[in-house]
Chains A and B, each alone.
Chain A
């Protein structure tokens, strides 16, 4: 029987097996805009199975922007950090030797030898030569 607005008076969702039970799984959605781009997190969704999750991911989050690939992951399969553990992501400010900042003096040195320094901008630019 088709239910028309007005004919349904009492509806309880609590206890409804679709709404309250384990019918829906949680997924996290990642996509990339172009083949040479990184995957980025879009958002989460709920779906009853993996196939629908992929369709929903496209329908919910990728209706306009360019997209070349899609990952849909069950949330329970993602390893996360607790709030406390996130503090361990902060780095101490004594790691100059890991980046070019620690070698900043070379710029002055090369100038003495009348050479241009080969910095990040220069080296990455070689891709276009």
Chain B
């Protein structure tokens, strides 16, 4: 036992990497390299905050959802997303504790623009079809990235993801149900759905991040793969999204706004028009169409609910 505590830094690092390679799970109080801790804090804080930043605008669709059944469905989804945020922020907080940081730092990092949230949540939703498309394709994309990390070497994150992915299955079907109703509806409803796909397509491609750090200057995919937090690269995840969803979109008689999109049988890869990665950088730099509104929505939510905290303290 003493051998473990007496080891040099390089010895600890080797033992740590061996544990990961053996499929062992790292727990919050275990020794870990600083880089591992930093990468996890960044990744999981961003993931957790994105769940919350996504739920805030989504909740605005509750009063606008057509019919009681749809209102209950989307309300349940919003609660799930906030719950995912809670789970993930717990994992982040525990990782930050030894650094003397806590949830207040996460929120301040968000507002002072050191912590980013997912590109899709900076975008405007126009119609009920957008709300359905978010459930179907944005949650579909999220399922692909999240299931890719179910075997993550960090135990608390892997366990959080297991809970999250189970609920995402409900979100995906909730979205499919809205989409199916519109796809089989009136010409006006079909047009509404097609417009939503046309609007969201570039954001869906951006969702997985750039192919390499050469595109946007930085990417944490190399470190996350090295530490077995995930297994596939951004591009592999995007390819898997295209394989799963392009045939489904086409099967409903809908089109994708990219005339270069095709599956190359020789390379077994999808060819597609690159989204504007400069625009992606602007969006995640909080210069997207709804970035500031969404940040203010969170600020206002914290302020407006101050009375709850005060009541609990009394």
- A contact residues vs B (CB 8 Å cutoff): 2-8, 11-16, 18-20, 23, 43-46, 48-49, 52, 59-61, 63-64, 80, 82-85, 87-88
Nearest residue (CB) in B for A16 is B104
Q: Kindly name the residue among A11, A16, A20, A64 whose own CB sees the greatest number of chain B CB atoms within 10 A.
A: A11
Give Cα A32–Cα B29 distance, bound, in whole angstroms: 26
Known contacts A16-B104, A45-B86, A87-B4: does B313 contact A6 (CB below 8 Å)? no
B160 located at the interface, meaning its Cβ lies under 8 Å from any Cβ of chain A in the complex:
yes
Known contacts A23-B313, A48-B312, A63-B79: does B90 contact A83 (CB below 8 Å)? no
Residue from the list B2, B4, B83, B299 in contact with A83, Cβ < 8 A:
B4
Residues B79 and A3 in contact, CB atoms below 8 Å apart: no
Q: Which of B260-314 contact A (CB under 8 A)?
A: 293, 296-297, 299-300, 302-304, 309, 312-313
Give Cα A8–Cα B304 distance, bound, in whole angstroms: 11
Counting from the closest, the 10 A-B pairs by CB-CB distance are A19-B104, A13-B104, A5-B296, A13-B107, A8-B299, A84-B1, A3-B303, A20-B104, A84-B4, A5-B297
B64 located at the interface, meaning its Cβ lies under 8 Å from any Cβ of chain A in the complex:
no
Q: Give 28 CB contacts A-B under 8 Å.
A: A4-B300, A5-B293, A5-B296, A6-B296, A7-B296, A7-B300, A8-B296, A11-B299, A13-B104, A13-B105, A19-B102, A19-B103, A43-B87, A43-B90, A43-B160, A44-B94, A46-B90, A46-B93, A48-B312, A59-B79, A60-B83, A60-B87, A61-B163, A63-B79, A63-B80, A82-B29, A85-B1, A88-B1
Chain B residues within an 8 Å CB radius of A85: 1
Q: How far is the CB of A99 from chain B (nearest CB, A)?
A: 25
B248 located at the interface, meaning its Cβ lies under 8 Å from any Cβ of chain A in the complex:
no
Interface residues of B, dominant DSSP: helix
Give Cα A83–Cα B309 distance, bound, in whole angstroms: 37
Give Cα A16–Cα B159 distance, bound, in whole angstroms: 30
Chain B residues within an 8 Å CB radius of A14: 104-105, 108
Query: Residue-by-residue, is B75-109 near A (CB-CB < 8 Å gives 1, otherwise 0)?
Result: 01001100100110010011000000011110110
Chain B residues within an 8 Å CB radius of A52: 312
Q: How far is the CB of B41 from chain A (nearest CB, A)?
A: 16
B5 located at the interface, meaning its Cβ lies under 8 Å from any Cβ of chain A in the complex:
yes
Residue from the list B29, B108, B297, B302 in contact with A80, Cβ < 8 A:
B29
Residue from the list A6, A11, A18, A44 in contact with B293, Cβ < 8 A:
A6
Q: How far is the CB of A42 from chain B (nearest CB, A)?
A: 8
Chain A residues within an 8 Å CB radius of B304: 2-3
